[in-house]
Structure 1
Amino acid sequence: MISSISGIVKSISLNSVVVEVGGVGILIQVPNRVAISLSAGATASFHTYLVVREDALILFGFTDLIDRDFFELLLSVTGIGPKVAQAILSGSDSATIATAISTSNLKTLESFPGLGKKGAQRLVLELKDKVAGFASKNANKSLSLGNQVENALQGLGYSAKDAASMVSQVLSS
């Protein structure tokens, strides 16, 4: 499993980016709100999810770990595949979507591409009890920032245990 990728953004399209890592260009499918925020030539880091198909390997990337986790949660819903999950996350951030699910706001959920009335109802039915951790934007930002700092510390040579300990000490103070 490829968990994360960092490199230089070489090209950007509506739902994907090519990131050069060690001289190799890697195509990463991203929500369009992420693609819009990037610029060619800039360094970017993505938390990734690899989908293995009979005819393809597709890498989905997210700038926030919480969005990748929410993507995986969306995939657990019957009838929601990676393309629909990506389209849902293209429409809004995970906190807003989680709030719509927890409050059973079908109108908001139906507005996402690829998700009709039945799909929205299925999301609410299967995920209503599982989205509480995603609904709080402040918790998401702290978690996301903490994970980013942990990853940076690990990149500097600290062990995962030491990095987690340092981040938890800073966040608790």
Structure 2
Amino acid sequence: MISSLTGTVSHVGLHSAVLDVNGFGMQVQATPQTLSTLRAGNQARVFTSMIVREDSMTLFGFTDPEEREVFETLLGVSGVGPRLALAVLAVHPPAAIRVAASSGDDKAFSKVPGIGPKGARRIVLELADKLVPLESDTPGTAADAWQSQVLAAMMGLGWSEKDAGSAIEAAVKESPEVAAAGDVGSILKLTLRRLGQDGARSSARASVN
């Protein structure tokens, strides 16, 4: 069992990254949030879970053991494979998943592409006693979790920390209900749209001047 990898990042793609570990190129599948923390040429450590099948061995990478634990717990739900479990983590941070599972919030899982209403209810039923909020999963901590993930994703796309932070704040004020849900994917889309609008306004002003 390979539980973590430490090495030089040699490639970062849309769905995976490759780490050079003692001369071996190790590919890991990961969420956009995890991939956004990796930079080609930099040293990095990712926590991993290996899925072994008859015709393949696949590594899935995570930023911390908590994310990996939630991923592996999701795999215990009937009908949930590694790709779908990774999709859940791409939409919700671990703290939000624990809260949704323990509170019976099936709508949170319905927001994940590939999960319908029936599948969401099944996930909630099967996870109810397996994923419970940690003591640290207070509302403030959960908010910090999605904010840091969105900020990291924006910086990974080339925005400065200052511009990304301002856009996130503006997007949250515009749609507080999305922020309250902790939906990382939706918040990221709102932030990108906000940056696009600000950029368009700046260009328009420049043209007028």
TM-score, structure 2 as length reference: 0.63
Other-structure match for 1:5: 5
CA distance in 1, matches of 2:112, 2:127: 16
The answer to whether 1:127 aligns with 2:133 is: no
Other-structure match for 1:75: 75
Instruction: Please say if residues 3 and 48 of structure 1, whose CA atoms lie closer than 8 Å, have aligned partners that are also in contact.
Output: yes
Q: Secondary structure at the match of 1:41?
A: coil
- In angstroms, what is the RMSD of aligned CA positions? 1.6
CA distance in 2, matches of 1:92, 1:39: 23
In the alignment of these two chains, the number of paired residues is 139
Q: Deviations over 1:113-138 (max 9, x none)?
A: 22111111011101112211457436
Other-structure match for 1:31: 31
One-letter code aligned to 1:25 = G
Higher radius of gyration, 1 or 2? 2
Instruction: Please say if residues 94 and 134 of structure 1, whose CA atoms lie closer than 8 Å, have aligned partners that are also in contact.
Output: no
Q: 1:113 to 1:135 in 2, by over 3 A?
A: farther
TM-score, structure 1 as length reference: 0.75
CA distance in 1, matches of 2:135, 2:101: 9
Other-structure match for 1:43: 43
Q: 1:59 to 1:135 in 2, by over 3 A?
A: farther
Instruction: Please say if residues 77 and 126 of structure 2, whose CA atoms lie closer than 8 Å, have aligned partners that are also in contact.
Output: yes
Alpha-carbon deviation of 1:24?
1.2
Instruction: Please say if residues 6 and 44 of structure 2, whose CA atoms lie closer than 8 Å, have aligned partners that are also in contact.
Output: yes
Instruction: Please say if residues 7 and 20 of structure 2, whose CA atoms lie closer than 8 Å, have aligned partners that are also in contact.
Output: yes
Other-structure match for 1:88: 88
Q: Secondary structure at the match of 2:96?
A: helix
Instruction: Please say if residues 102 and 133 of structure 2, whose CA atoms lie closer than 8 Å, have aligned partners that are also in contact.
Output: no
Q: Secondary structure at the match of 2:36?
A: helix
CA distance in 2, matches of 1:34, 1:74: 18
CA distance in 1, matches of 2:43, 2:87: 24
CA distance in 1, matches of 2:66, 2:16: 19
CA distance in 2, matches of 1:10, 1:112: 30
Structure 1's consecutive aligned runs of 4 or more residues displaced over 3 angstroms after TM superposition are 133-136
Identity %: 42
Q: Secondary structure at the match of 1:52?
A: strand
Other-structure match for 1:154: none
One-letter code aligned to 1:53 = R
Q: 1:135 to 1:60 in 2, by over 3 A?
A: farther
CA distance in 2, matches of 1:79, 1:135: 29
